[in-house]
Amino acid sequence: LQLTKRTKLPKPRHATLCSLYHPQDGTLIDSSAIALSFPSPFSYTGQDILELHVHGNPSLVRTLLRALSQVQPPEGGLGGMRTAHAGEFTRRAFENGKLDLLQVEGLADLLNAETQAQRTQALRQLKGEGGKIYESWREELVRVLAHLEAVIDFGDDEGDVVESEVLEGVTVKLLAVREEITRALSDKRRGEVIRDGVRVAIVGPPNAGKSSLLNRLVRREAAITSNIPGTTRDVVQVTMDLGGYPVILSDTAGIRDQTEDPIEKEGISRSLASADSADIRLLVLDSTTNNSEFLTSTSLRSLSSTPTLIVLNKSDLHQNPPEMIALAHAALFQSWGGVPRVEHVSCVTEEGLEEVLDSVHTMVVDMLGEG
């Protein structure tokens, strides 16, 4: 009222056009502000809230904030106003029971969401879907506890409680809750992957074109490229949005069993660690050479059985593409006992890039069980 020089508060949950004045000297701050009031408990925090929508001029906003700090509290009030601390509105909403802890975490995820999948998952959590499931488990366990206490208290009274029937029913209910919890825990990894990103490691022998492939996939020069084998010494990570899913691409040093260079050895070690912890691997091979030795190498065989997409690079250098493709597939069949998912690509002409992205997207969808 001190800011608007009015005698009545704005109608709750209705936009009210008003002028704002400095509470001390009465100077005009904004001639066409909008006020919205949300009385307790029907507000975000569960407390009385007043929103002031003003023009976005920085000087105007600073003047209004200074004016708010000088508004005199009503008689018996708790003092003047101050700016909220980071996250304070959400903290108050949590303390007043407007949000539970899972919803607060969902809000944090929503604010940090960069892809469609992250936004959708965060909204589900913010709506309280997870909390409803956990509350249903709690209610079922409380009912089970009540039945067990009844058996303990009245089990000796013949005809009142049939102990064996109660225990059998309790066992069935507990097993059902345990099955639901186990299923939820097995799905926990999916939520983490969507929140943090699907880890895709680009691996292969030196000079196969791994860094070039990374640059083409993300449409910028994220990694240094050179014709000299072993240019990449450390893991280079780039995040991209792939069909609504967050994907973290990792370009790694070329893998080979024999090297005397200690720096290259460390790079290979990091490459293997990145490949081993990845959710998906892109195994990049030079399709103009025989890769049998690399495909049977000790380093490659030591990796876990992560879903892998074979990318045969440098298809633009083929004099006889069908023949080279057949030779590459034969080498894969001989070394792997079969031909896994394979895509052919040229980082020079960019032929096959869309097919690589489509294949990776399909693997991500399959991994998350959303197919």
Domains contained in the chain, CATH given: 16-94 (3.30.1360.120), 100-194 (1.20.120.430), 197-367 (3.40.50.300)
Give me the mean pLDDT over the 232-243 stretch: 82
Give me the pLDDT at residue 93, please.
94
> With 60 as the cut, is the pLDDT of residue 116 above it?
yes
The structure tokens listed for 55 are 């023009």
d(CA 121, CA 110): 8
With both helix axes pointing from N to C terminus, report the angle between 116-126 and 188-196 in degrees, rounded to the nearest 10: 130
Give me the pLDDT at residue 104, please.
92
% of the chain beyond a pLDDT of 70:
83
pTM above 0.95?
no
Helices (H) and strands (E) in the chain, counts: 13, 9
d(CA 73, CA 84): 17
CB 201 within 8 A of CB 252: yes
% of the chain beyond a pLDDT of 90:
29
Tell me the β-bridge partners of 49: 38
d(CA 107, CA 122): 7
> With 70 as the cut, is the pLDDT of residue 340 above it?
no
> Dihedral through CA 33, CA 38, CA 39, CA 40, nearest 10?
-140
In terms of Cα–Cα distance, which of 125, 117, 119 is closest to 101? 125
For the chain, state the CA radius of gyration: 31
d(CA 285, CA 208): 5
CB 347 within 8 A of CB 216: yes
Instruction: Give Cα separations from 249 to 161, 201, 211 (angstroms).
Output: 62, 6, 11
pLDDT-derived band at 335, boundaries 50, 70, 90 = low
Give me the mean pLDDT over the 233-255 stretch: 86
> With 80 as the cut, is the pLDDT of residue 241 above it?
yes
Give me the pLDDT at residue 59, please.
93
Instruction: Cite the beta strand spans of 39-185 per DSSP E.
Output: 49-53
Lowest mean pLDDT among 14-18, 77-81, 116-120, 173-177: 77-81
Lowest mean pLDDT among 84-88, 96-100, 288-292: 288-292
Give me the pLDDT at residue 188, please.
57
The structure tokens listed for 37 are 């009031």
310-327 burial code (b ≥16 CB/10 A, e <16): bbbbbbbebeeeeebbeb
> With 60 as the cut, is the pLDDT of residue 248 above it?
yes
Give me the pLDDT at residue 307, please.
84
Residue that wins the pLDDT comparison between 281 and 293: 281
Give me the pLDDT at residue 305, please.
73
pLDDT-derived band at 151, boundaries 50, 70, 90 = confident
pLDDT digits (tens, 9 = 90+) for 47-79: 999 999 999 899 999 999 888 888 877 665 555
Give me the pLDDT at residue 223, please.
66
> With 80 as the cut, is the pLDDT of residue 125 above it?
yes
State the chain's mean pLDDT as an integer: 83
Peptide bond into 229 cis (omega under 30): no
d(CA 200, CA 56): 42
Residue that wins the pLDDT comparison between 21 and 299: 21
